[in-house]
Structure 1
Amino acid sequence: MAMKREESQQAYLKKLQQRPDVQAVLVLPVSDLLVPFRDGAFYLVVVNQPQTEGKIRRLHLQGRVVMEQQISTWQLEKGAVCGLDERLAAMLGRAEVLWDKDGYMKQMKLRLNRLPSAIQKKLICREYSQLLRFFHETKEFLQQGLILDAYHSLIQSLHSWARLIVYEAGEHPQAALWSQVKQMDSSVFKLYEELSVNGEALEKRIELLVLAIEFWITSKIKESVTFLMEVMETKTGPWRLEELMNHPAIVDAKIEVPLLIDKMIQRLLIQEVVFTEGANGDKEIGLILLR
């Protein structure tokens, strides 16, 4: 059986190597958590055609069904500069390179493993803002006595916190996120463990974690919003909220800007100023970064 699998893989590789657009071929472990297919091999084929990006096929290969996902070199090049989709980054990190034309994929994997500083700051800012959002939801649900809803939002908060820790370490979150975080910050892992397995009443567990998260949010705000502060530094005058949210570096970043602004005002990182705007004399609030 193993010999037949090896023969079918070699035949498949030979066919791909004859295509001028194929740059590399990788395969994921069958037992990998990221593989949405359990009955056969899952191949990643790197091609020089942008229009094939994300194309997935089920193939019948000498009596076996396999999956093939195509990735464009353009997508990888863009990912090395701007950040790659997390799931795809995790898949590439785990995949074995079966064939690599001109050593392209070897170099690309090295580049993708290094999280550029600008992207790292943006991702940290995004996760911090998501943590803030779910944390506020947790407190609101807790005050309303909606314990299960508070629990759900708290789990979301912890996941954002965990991802932030991974990004701070310059890595990409893995499928087994908490196993990854356990090696990086055992204190946060223990908080998650306490929420999950502690025998105390659920409401009491939530209240204890709310206190821990609130302290961390307050103490880490300046480092976590560096990305947003650097964007604001590109302009000398006040920012309108809408203008800031529509900045090219922010608009698609999934950052909860209004929540961050409120927190930054509270922590005296931003100052509000009033200026007259428009023909009708509306007094709009602008935002100035305090240096």
Structure 2
Amino acid sequence: MENLLRPIYQERASQPNTLGVLVYEKLHHNSPVTDSFDVILLIVVREAEEDWYVKHYEYEDKTAAMHIVREDLLGQWIETSGYRKVIDWLINGKIVFDRNEYLSHLREKLREFPEITRQLRKCVEFAKLIRTYRECKDLFAAKHYLDANSLMVRSLHYLARVAVLEKGLHPEVTVWNQVKRFDPEVYKLYEELMESEEPPEKRIQLMLLASDFAIHSRAERGAEHLLNIMREKNEPWSFGELKVHPETQYYTLDLSILLEYLVERRIVETKAVETKGQNIYHRQYLVKD
């Protein structure tokens, strides 16, 4: 199989812009990791007109997908789990070209999974968890039970990813297989939601209560990345300052609801600062001691 693909990637490997090439072959008949393609050909480049270019091939009775990804976009995917499949490709794929050991060093970094990267990933997933959980509660209160059920499933997926990250691992596409091994309590929540014979209203009500505890117990660990940023100075932060901080950019869209949750849990406190308007104050935030 690799011999058939070699002319394709050798052409790319000869270009000075190419940093590395790896081949990933699917392990199962219907593989979500490869979108059911037989082979993934990942080519990392330093610069390109398109930050992500994809081309599909077929040969004999096989199919292949070639992904040409710019280095900066790949880094973004890794830091935020923006395209989770690529982690599996990088860790388990076969490196067939490696300029200055670029892919080897990247693979080693992924396996080490530095604490700062893990904190960022947890905060991204935890912020999404808070948003979907709140939206689920709102839909439940409005008696939209089927829509609330869909959001409950999604929020449990975010909870599962947080649980896996807490163990120092990268969440895989098959995240529930990981959770079953490393966090049986979170897996039990998902199992109960999927297998419950209760009517939707009762099922979601019970899951909201159980999920609330699971989320609350992880609040400080989940938001650790944001809390550490806020501890960089002894003075309160305005929301605008936090929003433009370069290290919060990966969860900016969920930053407001995450802050409100931390305020409600009394992990973060607010300070009212006078404005020119009478009885109107700026709201600022600081980590509670």
2:119 aligned partner: 121
Contact residue 236 and residue 286 of structure 2 kept, 8 A: yes
Does residue 181 (structure 1) correspond to residue 189 (structure 2)? The answer is no
Question: Aligned in 2, Cα 1:63/1:133: closer, same or farther, shift over 3 Å?
Answer: closer
Shift in Å at residue 59 of structure 1?
5.2
Uncovered stretches (5+) of structure 2, i.e. residues with no partner: none
| Residue deviations 1:106-148 (CA, integer Å, cap 9, x gap) | 2221112332322222222222222222222222222222210
1:242 aligned partner: 240
The separation in 2 between residues aligned to 1:62 and 1:15, in whole angstroms, is: 21
2:83 aligned partner: 86
Q: Which moved more, 1:146-155 or 1:234-243?
A: 234-243
Does residue 232 (structure 1) correspond to residue 230 (structure 2)? The answer is yes
Alignment of 1:94-105 (within 5 A): 94-105=92-103
Uncovered stretches (5+) of structure 1, i.e. residues with no partner: none
The separation in 1 between residues aligned to 2:183 and 2:90, in whole angstroms, is: 25
1:136 aligned partner: 134
The separation in 1 between residues aligned to 2:87 and 2:209, in whole angstroms, is: 34
SS in 1 for 2:282: strand
Letter in 2 for 1:9: L
Question: Aligned in 2, Cα 1:157/1:274: closer, same or farther, shift over 3 Å?
Answer: same
The separation in 1 between residues aligned to 2:187 and 2:100, in whole angstroms, is: 42
Alignment of 1:181-220 (within 5 A): 181-220=179-218
Letter in 2 for 1:268: R
Q: Which moved more, 1:171-180 or 1:47-56?
A: 47-56
Contact residue 25 and residue 46 of structure 1 kept, 8 A: yes
The separation in 1 between residues aligned to 2:115 and 2:249, in whole angstroms, is: 19
SS in 2 for 1:243: helix
| Residue deviations 1:22-53 (CA, integer Å, cap 9, x gap) | 44321122444232463x53311233445464
| Residue deviations 1:138-178 (CA, integer Å, cap 9, x gap) | 22222222210110111111011011112212222211121
The separation in 2 between residues aligned to 1:6 and 1:229, in whole angstroms, is: 47
| Residue deviations 1:236-271 (CA, integer Å, cap 9, x gap) | 222222332232221332462332333322333222
1:34 aligned partner: 33
Among 128, 143, 146, the alignment partner of 2:144 is 146
The separation in 2 between residues aligned to 1:242 and 1:180, in whole angstroms, is: 38
Contact residue 26 and residue 44 of structure 1 kept, 8 A: yes
Shift in Å at residue 80 of structure 1?
10
Contact residue 118 and residue 168 of structure 2 kept, 8 A: yes
Among 55, 61, 67, the alignment partner of 1:69 is 67
Contact residue 28 and residue 43 of structure 1 kept, 8 A: yes
RMSD: 3.0
Shift in Å at residue 61 of structure 1?
6.8
The separation in 1 between residues aligned to 2:77 and 2:135, in whole angstroms, is: 35
Contact residue 81 and residue 116 of structure 1 kept, 8 A: no
2:266 aligned partner: 268
The separation in 2 between residues aligned to 1:285 and 1:16, in whole angstroms, is: 53
The separation in 2 between residues aligned to 1:223 and 1:63, in whole angstroms, is: 48
Does residue 8 (structure 1) correspond to residue 26 (structure 2)? The answer is no
Aligned pairs, number: 285
TM-score by length of 1: 0.83
The separation in 1 between residues aligned to 2:134 and 2:10, in whole angstroms, is: 55
What percentage of residue pairs aligned between the two structures are identical? Answer: 24
The separation in 2 between residues aligned to 1:256 and 1:22, in whole angstroms, is: 35
2:154 aligned partner: 156
TM-score by length of 2: 0.83
